């Protein structure tokens, strides 16, 4: 499955549009990450626990989007975008969406 954030794919031609596909996940912080983050806020540096949380959330949301695209018979997703929002204090949603398409090699 080809996944891009552009409208087109170099060397490919869109032959069918299957529609909007999306994936999301809601993740909450845990007390261990909160304590580590509090210390980093004082000392400075990367909040590795939150970085890992975001990586996991992004991976899960993309997998869900791609599963939906596969069910529609697509072999690519174009115009992929990410969005985040706070659901409640301590929990955030990561949302990914794009357009599922069928592409073929340009002749």
* Contact assessment for residue 40 and residue 72, using Cβ atoms and an 8 Å cutoff: no
* Domain assignment of residue 101, yes or no: yes
Q: What's CA 37's distance to the chain center, in Å? A: 23
The boundaries of the domain holding residue 89 are 2-28+59-105
What is the tens place of the pLDDT at every residue in 67-98?
999 999 999 999 999 998 887 777 788 999 99
Scanning the chain, the segments in alpha helix (DSSP H) are 31-43, 48-71
Q: What is the pLDDT of residues 40-72, one digit of tens each?
A: 566 667 767 777 888 889 999 999 999 999 999
pLDDT at residue 50 in the model: 76
How many domains is the chain partitioned into structurally? 1
User: Residue 28: CB partners within 8 Å, gap ≥ 6?
Assistant: 90, 91
Q: Domain holding 96: CATH number?
A: 3.30.110.70
Residue 49 belongs to a domain: no
Give a yes or no: residue 100 inside a domain. yes
Q: Is residue 47 part of a domain?
A: no
- What DSSP state is assigned to residue 45? S
Q: Which residue has the higher pLDDT, 24 or 35?
A: 24
In a domain, 35, yes or no: no
0.85 surpassed by pTM: no
Question: Cα separation of 3 and 99, whole Å?
Answer: 10
């Amino acid at each position: 499955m080809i996944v891009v954030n552009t409208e087109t794919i170099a060397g490919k031609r869109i032959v069918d549009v299957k529609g909007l596909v999306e994936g999301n996940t809601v993740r909450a912080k845990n007390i261990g990450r909160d304590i580590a983050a509090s210390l980093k806020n004082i000392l400075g540096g990367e909040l590795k626990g939150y970085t890992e949380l975001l990586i996991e959330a992004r991976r899960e949301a993309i997998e869900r989007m791609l599963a939906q695209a596969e069910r529609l018979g697509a072999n690519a997703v174009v115009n992929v975008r990410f969005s985040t929002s706070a659901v409640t204090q301590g929990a955030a949603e990561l949302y990914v969406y794009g357009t599922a398409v069928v592409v073929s090699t340009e002749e």
